[in-house]
Amino acid sequence: MPLFPSDEWLKDYVERINSSKEYEEAAATWEGDLCYVFEAEPDKSVPKDVWTWVDLWHGKCREARYDIGEEEGTKAKFIIRAPYSRWKQVIRKELDPVKGMMQGKLKLKGDLPTIVRNVKAANELVNIAATVPTDFVDEQR
């Protein structure tokens, strides 16, 4: 099973995005890249922030890169950041991303009206993440 966070996990995620009819429909008009920032939690085996970039375009992911660094990552149109353990809750569907944002547990940088207009697409991205069989880095023996 892919380890989260890792390049292997990202590749599996991207494959699932590109084979999702639900996402393709929900994100038909979406244009813009997105950076997920998995913030460091050294006590949970995430020693540094991991910036993961996905280029999303009209219902497909054209390209993705793992651990691109902050300088590159901040150029993305949208940035969503949270500590690693929050992402783990999102992937396990224990934390609804909309509620997470309203509670300040997930931070979004970028044009909010665009996100609101495309909230179905954003929810599909989370649904897809939850389908990736995942080993979490802090649960490894």
The answer to the question of residue 1 lying near other proteins (CB under 8 A) is no
Q: Would you tell me how many other CB atoms lie within 10 Å of the CB of residue 50?
A: 22
Distance CA 138, CA 109 (A): 27
The answer to the question of residue 28 lying near other proteins (CB under 8 A) is no
Smallest distance, other proteins to C-beta of residue 135, A = 30
Applying CB under 8 A, which part among 59-67, 83-91, 114-122, 132-140 lies near other proteins?
Answer: 114-122
Q: Would you tell me how many other CB atoms lie within 10 Å of the CB of residue 44?
A: 15
Joined tokens for residue 41: 């939690």
Q: What is the DSSP string of 35-54?
A: EEEEE-BGGGTB-S-EEEEE
Smallest distance, other proteins to C-beta of residue 103, A = 5
Sign, Cα dihedral of 5, 6, 12, 17: positive
The answer to the question of residue 112 lying near other proteins (CB under 8 A) is yes
When the beta carbons of 1 and 119 are compared against other proteins, the nearer one is: 119
Smallest distance, other proteins to C-beta of residue 40, A = 20
- CA dihedral of 18, 21, 24, 27, whole degrees rounded to 10: -120
Applying CB under 8 A, which part among 25-33, 35-43, 77-85, 116-124 lies near other proteins?
Answer: 116-124
The answer to the question of residue 68 lying near other proteins (CB under 8 A) is no
Which DSSP category does 30 fall into?
-
When the beta carbons of 18 and 123 are compared against other proteins, the nearer one is: 123
* Residue ranges that bind other proteins, judged by CB under 8 A: 96, 98-99, 101-105, 108, 111-114, 116-117, 119
